[in-house]
Structure 1
Amino acid sequence: MTSPRDVVLNAWKTFSSRDAARIAALFTDDAEWIAPKGNATAVALDHTDHMVGATQIARFIAQEMHRLFSEIDIAFRGVHADGDVVIVEERMRATLPGGKPYENDYCFVFTVAGERIREVREYMDTRKGWRMVFGEGA
């Protein structure tokens, strides 16, 4: 059996494939991805901050987020596992439409069920993200 830590690390590798079917297979059918309400990514893309279901999550990762972010670079700062919970600390750098740079720190709390992800709780500096996406005066 694959450890929850390995399930999550494999997921990050698979996310970069942008293959929605492969990404969906990483999640339970009823998986949830919960981000802060009103975060800049959700607002800019007119998208929910609480995705439910493997298909919706996979579509966002494979397609929708790339309407806002290109040249994505993820640097892990830490991966911490305890039982079925895996915490990933990372810095994401990307390019926004018009060529503006984006850089923000994230923390993801994954709950793994067997060899698939059941829940992701996402945390980031929402104010910093908002300023980068919408500008200082926003």
Structure 2
Amino acid sequence: MTIEQRKQNAVKMLHASARGDADAVRELINDDFQFRFMQQADSWSADGEEMSAALDKENYLAYGVPVAKQITRDGMHFTEELILADGDYIVVFGHSNAVSLKGQPYNNNYCWRMRFSGDRISELYEYCDTHLAHEVLFG
């Protein structure tokens, strides 16, 4: 797989996650996939449920992917501003253009770091303003 194909698949994965499409995400990630929401706390709360900041493949597909539709009116609507590649790593800088369930705009800045193993993604680290996310989406 070329670097350009990896960049394209990284963006596909972000958009599939943003719209809650677990089947599309499943096609892009490895069995050893790990997601990490980059915050100091080991967990976060969504709709009264405690969620780990780190998820394996099955938990990401079951809980991580659908959460975008559960905490926004119609998904995150991610846009990419810059995509960088270094070996097995793809880094995407972008932002969300979402509306919370309470009608508040959720325009957060993001950095996603993905590690590929072969043609699929094995690791996704998500960096964003966690204070804004908690205030607007979970507050």
Class of the TM-score when normalised by the shorter of the 2 chains: 0.7 to 0.9
Q: For the residues of structure 2 that align with 1:89 and 1:69, how far apart are their CA atoms? A: 21
Q: For the residues of structure 1 that align with 2:108 and 2:15, how far apart are their CA atoms? A: 20
Please list every run of 5 or more consecutive structure 2 residues that lacks an aligned counterpart in the other structure: none
Mapped pair 1:56 → 2:59: yes
Q: For the residues of structure 2 that align with 1:16 and 1:80, how far apart are their CA atoms? A: 20
**RMSD, aligned CA:** 2.4
Which residue identity is paired with 1:107? C
SS in 2 for 1:70: coil
- Equivalent pairs, count: 133
Judging changes above 3 Å, is the alpha-carbon distance between structure 1 residues 9 and 109 closer, same or farther for their aligned structure 2 residues? same
Q: Is the 1:111–1:117 Cα contact (8 Å) retained in structure 2?
A: yes
Mapped pair 1:70 → 2:73: yes
The aligned counterpart of 1:29 is: 31
Aligned identity (percent) is 23
**Following TM superposition, by how much is the alpha carbon of 1:109 offset from its aligned partner in structure 2, in angstroms?**
0.4
**Following TM superposition, by how much is the alpha carbon of 1:97 offset from its aligned partner in structure 2, in angstroms?**
1.4
Show the 5 A alignment for 1:1-138: 1-3=1-3, 4-15=6-17, 18-35=20-37, 36-38=39-41, 42-45=44-47, 46=49, 47-53=51-57, 55-71=58-74, 72-134=76-138
Instruction: Show CA shifts across 1:27-50 (max 9, x none).
Output: 11121000124499x423432211
Q: Is the 1:2–1:115 Cα contact (8 Å) retained in structure 2?
A: no
**Following TM superposition, by how much is the alpha carbon of 1:5 offset from its aligned partner in structure 2, in angstroms?**
1.9
Q: For the residues of structure 2 that align with 1:89 and 1:112, how far apart are their CA atoms? A: 17
Q: Is the 2:42–2:52 Cα contact (8 Å) retained in structure 1?
A: no
Q: Is the 1:96–1:102 Cα contact (8 Å) retained in structure 2?
A: yes
Q: Is the 1:24–1:57 Cα contact (8 Å) retained in structure 2?
A: no
SS in 1 for 2:78: strand
Judging changes above 3 Å, is the alpha-carbon distance between structure 1 residues 81 and 130 closer, same or farther for their aligned structure 2 residues? same
Which residue identity is paired with 2:116? V
Judging changes above 3 Å, is the alpha-carbon distance between structure 1 residues 16 and 91 closer, same or farther for their aligned structure 2 residues? closer
Q: Which moved more, 1:60-69 or 1:86-95?
A: 60-69
